[in-house]
Amino acid sequence: MSIAHSSFYNMLKVPEHQVAGHLAIDGKLGPLVDDSGRFYKPLQGDGRGNKELAFYESFSSDTRVPDHIRKYFPVCYGSQLLEASNGSGLLHHLVLQDIVSSHRNPSIMDVKIGSRTWYPEASDNYIQKCLEKDRRTTTVSLGFRIAGLQLYEGKESGYWRPGRKEVQSFTVYNVRSILRRFVSSNSSIGNENSDCSFAPSIYGGSAGILEQLLELKAWFEDQTIYHFHSCSLLILFDKESVSKGSASVPEIKLIDFAHVVEGKGVIDHNFLGGLCSLIKFVSEVLSDSKESSIKDCVESEKPGICTDNGNCQ
């Protein structure tokens, strides 16, 4: 742990692309970022911060975690004393890789995985509070809920960033629409008309979101080290790069580990079930998009054939 120098403070700023959690604005406590690609998350005083730090310490030294899985977690650089964003003075911050910094105009979805966000060891009050929210959102019905998102819609319209209340009221129908809209070129003209034209390159392909989710799934079918309660999958990609045809790899990262507990020889069936549900939704968007491009090819009477990524040739 190190204490930052005062000259360093000037470099810290409020993250531009934070889609869920507490924001460091209006004198509130929240995470900060710098220009070197680091993300500073204040360690909450109720023990959650220390639990998350303990998780990162345990995880980073655990040789049972294979490298192809480790890449789905942000790199952790320990903790640091920094001026808190709410002006309350020096506070310990977790120093993490700023996942978003490598993306120019990222479209981001924060998907909280699991059909329950509580864990057996928690207090009755905590369980009832979580259960109430899990039932109110899609957590119980879908096995996951969207906790926040931003969708880049182009230079003129900027980002679509629904407010917290709107996000919390998402139904199963809304979630399905958003998963389509997330990979559509015409996202601003309404859910019903989403063209899903980016689905083959973002959800599909050997480096796409679906393959990454399946790689994670295979690990979750086997690993009994950790149970990831109330943890999120951050799904992000740069729509502009994709539009321009440049090779932008969509990314998945797991975040928020304040409620991770030991697996004690049992798989994380709660996370795994939710992950499989998300996989099914993503697969459906992908196969729908392929079907509709085949239909388009046929309807336009082009002599070409439809390629694997859904384009006409």
Does the footprint of a copy of itself cover residue 24 (CB under 8 A)?
Answer: no
Q: How far apart are CA 255 and CA 271, in angstroms?
A: 13
Q: How far apart are the first and last CA of the chain?
A: 56
Judged by CB, which is closer to a copy of itself: 140, or 312?
A: 140
Under DSSP, the state recorded for 245 is T
9 half-sphere exposure, CB direction, 13 A CA radius? 12
Does the footprint of a copy of itself cover residue 262 (CB under 8 A)?
Answer: no
Does the footprint of a copy of itself cover residue 130 (CB under 8 A)?
Answer: no
27, 264, 299, 301: which one contacts a copy of itself (CB under 8 A)?
264
Tell me the window of 68-76, 79-87, 153-161, 216-224 that interacts with a copy of itself (CB under 8 A).
Answer: 216-224
Tell me the window of 3-11, 45-53, 159-167, 266-274 that interacts with a copy of itself (CB under 8 A).
Answer: 266-274
The token pair at 267 is 């798989």
Q: How far apart are CA 199 and CA 309, in angstroms?
A: 8
Phi, psi of 150 (to 5 degrees): -140, 140
3-class DSSP string for 176-191: HHHHHHCCCCCHHHCH
Q: Which residues contact 146 (CB under 8 A, 6 or more apart)?
A: 109, 110, 111, 112, 138, 167, 170, 175, 178
State the amino acid at position 163 in one-letter form. Answer: G
State the amino acid at position 6 in one-letter form. Answer: S
Size of the site for a copy of itself (CB under 8 A): 27
The least distance separating a copy of itself from the CB of residue 209, rounded to whole angstroms, comes to 17
The least distance separating a copy of itself from the CB of residue 175, rounded to whole angstroms, comes to 10
Site string for a copy of itself, 154-193 (x = CB under 8 A): ------------------x---x-----------------
Does the footprint of a copy of itself cover residue 116 (CB under 8 A)?
Answer: yes
Point out which residues bind a copy of itself (CB under 8 A). Answer: 115-116, 120, 131, 135, 140-143, 172, 176, 221-222, 224, 264-267, 269-270, 272-274, 276-277, 279-280
